[in-house]
Amino acid sequence: MRFINRHPERGGRLLLALLPFVLLLLVYVIASATRLAENPDDRLLPSVGQMADAVRQMAFTEDERTGEYLMWSDTAASLKRLAAGLGVAALAGLCLGIAAGSFPILGAAFSPLLAVVSMIPPLAVLPILFIVFGLDELSKVMLIVIGVTPLLARDLEQRAREMPQEVLVKAQTLGANSWTIVLRVILPQLLSRLLVSLRLLMGAAWLFLISAEAISATAGLGYRIFLVRRYMAMDVILPYVLWITLLAWLTDYALRRLNRWWFPWSEGARA
Amino acid sequence: MNLRRIILALSLGLASLLSTTAHAGTRQSFSICWTIYAGWMPWEYAQVQGIIDKWAGKYGIRIKAVQLNDYIESINQYTAGQFDGCTMTNMDALTIPAAGGVDSTALIPGSYSNGNDGIVLKGQGKSLKDIKGQNVHLVQFSVSHYLLARGLETVGLRERDIKVVNTSDADIGGAFATSEVQAAVAWNPQLSTIAAMPGAAKVFDSSKIPGEILDLLVVNTATLKDNPGLGKALTGAWFEVMALMKAKNAEALAQMAKASGTTLEGYQAQLATTAMLYEPAEALRLATSPQLPDAMKRVAKFSFDKGLLGAGARSADAIGVAFPDGVVNGNAQNIKLRFDDTYLRLAADGKL
């Protein structure tokens, strides 16, 4: 049988999925053990035990100075910023996308602007963001909004354009005006696409969040990573990276379930 | 099935890539790293003008001085074993390589900050006392943080009387331009930029704690021990450039100014607040001065209080710091940072 036609069995699939993870873990454990055998104080590749100690310290021990559990207060601060940023970006992106995608006149005005603005790397204009939005929470949320909105708007605009002409004509013969068409025909279809778009842009949103926290902050997952990098505490950084990965994966999973639950038709199931 | 063996061999191979550390033993070729700072620009000049090559050739070795853009990353690279030496402050030498178990030697104390680090407040007629209750923007756990702690001590305040906001050094200038930032601690060249903003005043600087913030060239102790030529060549090259700087050699200063991205006037202004130790005898005096162990004790206490010595450290004395003449701070069984006068003495006696 040709390789291209071979499919993994059920058990085999799980094994193949786990294999790269096990391999990575093995590489890490061996490398860490080698370095620690040479220099027991090495900080570059801490052992699993050292990382567990760091997690115990960060997540389950009260900080002496603030009385907070640092890892949880960092997580809360970061998630709040991420949620606010993505929420605003989703709303703005949806409005802009629908406006530019459904109404040719608005599209003529907005499309080129969105195309240009979405190409500006937000991190390159950080000093301007500081001066306009200050250094507090607002600037961190705005970095996410500015980074994600144009991409979201362009994607939704494209989807609105792809709306079958027959559907729009049908709605109009049934007496719908522009407003009704947007509300009853275009919006429901685009909402599902919005969730898919958000999933794809989640990585970018995290990137902007962590960059913003690295520049000026008093709490947050990115803040902590850049702070302890000052003395190369990889035993804190690596668990934080794993935690961020887990959070990002969970949000991705939640958005996928939400999409399937709210818009069962979007993945081909019957409503 | 051989799969298990293949996986094991593969992981061992990859793991060995990750676990390379600097290996001691006699070697021919070395590399050191440096970052842009007024007191470290001589390394740029020495590299470009072939002064390092000349001195390395004299001792039959090759040395490359590599400029890295990110200061902390350069120290991390050195600590991970990618470089045989690196420029850093005394505090970072203690908290990164030494606390990371890499036995390091401060080969050349090139200069100390004499006003290059400062606390700046906004408002007319402000003094350091007015910092109470403010949000202070600085790079947390850096020498700025140490300077702030020392400054607060002098006016009877403690860190809990203020709130520190971690702000990247690259962005502190932009941050200080916004209205909500009223207090900042920074080093040059950013310090001179923010202190010059209208309505801002420098209320404390490192000239009030001379000799506590040192800018060093640190090398791996084991490498140095096996290759004394490395120490001799680096020391020789350094003081050759120092002699040019002391003589105010226009061509040398202009090149260093250009490489650090400023004008000759700008560079000279930065040098004015940097106490360069031009003569081997001056550097030797600093390395052997009885104030040095005291300063390092303060730095160790600050570092321990902030948790910078690592989770394993039980006290500020966990890491031993050795000084010339056998003086040791902290645990003598665990000496990881050494101030060495061997090569400075050779330079002072003209024996290099």
Domain limits, chain A: 3-45, 60-267
**C-beta separation of A192 from A269 below 8 A:** no
Query: Which of B326, B323, B310 minimizes the C-alpha distance to B99?
Result: B310
Q: Of B19, B163, B178, which is closest to A130 when you measure between CB atoms? A: B178
Query: Which of B21, B149, B37 minimizes the C-alpha distance to B88?
Result: B37
**C-beta separation of A142 from A136 below 8 A:** no
Q: How many angstroms separate the CA atoms of B275 and B289, rounded?
A: 16
Number of cross-chain residue pairs from A and B with Cβ atoms under 8 Å apart: 128
Q: Which two tokens stand for residue B238?
A: 């350094």
Q: Does B76 touch chain A (CB under 8 A)?
A: yes
**Cα-based distances in Å from B86 to B39, B114, B239:** 13, 22, 17
Q: Does A227 touch chain B (CB under 8 A)?
A: yes
In angstroms, the separation between the Cα of residue A5 and the nearest Cα of chain B is 22
Query: Which of B227, B217, B216 minimizes the C-alpha distance to B23?
Result: B227
Best A232, A236, A237 member to test B by mutation, with max B CBs in 10 Å, is: A232
Q: How many angstroms separate the CA atoms of A29 and B19, rounded?
A: 11
Closest chain B CA to residue A25? B11
In the block, residue with structure tokens 């709210």: A262
CB spacing of A50 vs B311 below 8 angstroms: yes
**Cα-based distances in Å from A108 to A114, A118, B228:** 11, 16, 72
pLDDT tens profile B329-351: 999 999 999 999 999 999 999 99
CB spacing of A50 vs B99 below 8 angstroms: no
Among residues 205-224 of chain A, which lie with CB inside 8 Å of chain B? 214-218, 223
Range A161-178 average pLDDT? 93
pLDDT tens profile A9-53: 888 899 999 999 999 999 999 999 998 998 888 888 999 999 999
ipTM above 0.85, yes or no: no
Q: What pLDDT does residue B7 have?
A: 67
Q: What pLDDT does residue A68 have?
A: 85
CB spacing of A126 vs B174 below 8 angstroms: yes
In angstroms, the separation between the Cα of residue B54 and the nearest Cα of chain A is 34
pTM of the model: 0.82
Q: Does A45 touch chain B (CB under 8 A)?
A: yes
Cβ-based neighbour number of residue A18 at 10 Å:
10
Q: What pLDDT does residue B18 have?
A: 64
Q: Of B11, B171, B308, which is closest to A23 when you measure between CB atoms? A: B11
Judged on CB neighbours under 10 Å (0-12, 13-18, 19+), A30 is buried
Range A224-240 average pLDDT? 89
Among residues 232-251 of chain A, which lie with CB inside 8 Å of chain B? 232-233, 235
In angstroms, the separation between the Cα of residue A141 and the nearest Cα of chain B is 17
Q: What pLDDT does residue A271 have?
A: 43
CB spacing of A217 vs B165 below 8 angstroms: yes
Amino acid at position A160, single letter: A
Q: How many angstroms separate the CA atoms of B342 and B284, rounded?
A: 9
**C-beta separation of B143 from B215 below 8 A:** no
Q: What pLDDT does residue B24 have?
A: 62
Range A173-183 average pLDDT? 93
CB spacing of A42 vs B142 below 8 angstroms: no
Peptide bond into B290 cis (omega under 30): no
Q: Which two tokens stand for residue B77?
A: 């690279």
Which runs of E-coded beta strand occur in A123-228?
216-217
Residue A164, SS3 per DSSP: coil
Q: Does A39 touch chain B (CB under 8 A)?
A: yes
pLDDT tens profile A132-158: 887 788 989 999 999 999 999 999 999
Q: How many angstroms separate the CA atoms of B96 and A270, rounded?
A: 60
List of chain B residues whose C-beta atoms are within 8 Å of the C-beta of residue A39: 21, 100-102
**C-beta separation of B83 from B32 below 8 A:** yes
pLDDT per residue, tens digit, chain B (352 aa), is 466 677 667 666 666 666 655 556 788 999 999 998 999 999 999 999 999 999 999 999 999 999 998 888 899 999 988 999 999 999 999 999 999 999 999 999 999 999 999 999 998 888 999 999 999 999 999 999 999 999 999 999 998 999 999 998 888 888 898 888 999 999 988 898 899 888 899 999 999 999 999 999 999 999 999 999 999 999 999 999 999 999 999 999 999 999 988 899 989 999 999 999 999 999 999 999 999 999 999 999 999 998 888 877 889 999 999 999 889 999 999 999 999 999 999 999 999 8
In angstroms, the separation between the Cα of residue B117 and the nearest Cα of chain A is 18
CB spacing of B100 vs A38 below 8 angstroms: no
**C-beta separation of A151 from A117 below 8 A:** no
**Cα-based distances in Å from A99 to A89, A91, A126:** 15, 12, 28
Q: How many angstroms separate the CA atoms of A200 and A208, rounded?
A: 14
Amino acid at position A263, single letter: F
Q: Which two tokens stand for residue A148?
A: 């994600």
**C-beta separation of B254 from B49 below 8 A:** no
In angstroms, the separation between the Cα of residue A25 and the nearest Cα of chain B is 9
Closest chain B CA to residue A132? B178
Q: How many angstroms separate the CA atoms of A184 and B85, rounded?
A: 68
Both ends of chain A: CA-CA distance in Å? 40
* The 3-state secondary structure of chain B, one letter per residue: CCHHHHHHHHHHHHHHHHCCCCCCCCCCEEEEEECCCHHHHHHHHHHHCCHHHHHHHHCCCEEEEEECCCHHHHHHHHHHCCCCEEEEEHHHHHHHHHCCCCCEEEEEEEEEECCCEEEEEECCCCCHHHHCCCEEEECCCCHHHHHHHHHHHHCCCCHHHCEEEEECHHHHHHHHCCCCCCEEEEECCHHHHHHCCCCEEEEEEHHHCCCCCEEEEEEEHHHHHHCHHHHHHHHHHHHHHHHHHHCCCHHHHHHHHHHCCCCHHHHHHHHHCEEECCCHHHHHHHHHCCHHHHHHHHHHHHHHHCCCCCCCCCCCCCCEEECHHHCEECCHHHEEEEECCHHHHHHHCCCC
Q: Of B11, B167, B311, which is closest to A30 when you measure between CB atoms? A: B11
**C-beta separation of A43 from A233 below 8 A:** yes
Cα B50 to its chain centre, rounded Å, is 24
**C-beta separation of B168 from B160 below 8 A:** no
Residue A149, SS3 per DSSP: helix
Q: Of B7, B101, B174, which is closest to A127 when you measure between CB atoms? A: B174
List of chain A residues whose C-beta atoms are within 8 Å of the C-beta of residue B79: 43-44, 232
Best B19, B23, B334 member to test A by mutation, with max A CBs in 10 Å, is: B19
CB spacing of B175 vs A130 below 8 angstroms: yes
Query: Which of A48, A25, A29, A219 minimizes the C-alpha distance to A56?
Result: A48
Identical fold at B27-112+212-348 and B117-208?
A: yes
Q: Which two tokens stand for residue A71?
A: 């890892």
CB spacing of B174 vs A57 below 8 angstroms: no
Instruction: Indicate the domain borders of chain B.
Output: 27-112+212-348, 117-208
CB spacing of A57 vs B311 below 8 angstroms: yes
Q: Does B8 touch chain A (CB under 8 A)?
A: yes
Q: Of A39, A135, A233, which is closest to B180 when you measure between CB atoms? A: A135
Assigned CATH for B27-112+212-348? 3.40.190.10
Q: Does A188 touch chain B (CB under 8 A)?
A: no
Query: Which of A153, A181, A152, A141 minimizes the C-alpha distance to A165?
Result: A181
Residue B203, SS3 per DSSP: strand
Question: Which superfamily, per CATH, for A60-267?
Answer: MetI-like (1.10.3720.10)
- 3-state percent helix, strand, coil for chain A, nearest multiple of 5: 80, 0, 20
Cβ-based neighbour number of residue B33 at 10 Å:
22
Among residues 129-188 of chain B, which lie with CB inside 8 Å of chain A? 137, 139-142, 160, 163-168, 171, 174-175, 177-181
Q: Of B17, B140, B174, which is closest to A227 when you measure between CB atoms? A: B140
CB spacing of B101 vs A41 below 8 angstroms: yes
Question: Which superfamily, per CATH, for B117-208?
Answer: Periplasmic binding protein-like II (3.40.190.10)
Amino acid at position A164, single letter: P
Q: Of B76, B100, B167, which is closest to A41 when you measure between CB atoms? A: B100
Q: How many angstroms separate the CA atoms of A58 and A42, rounded?
A: 20
Q: Of A30, A31, A217, which is closest to B166 when you measure between CB atoms? A: A217
Cα A103 to its chain centre, rounded Å, is 30
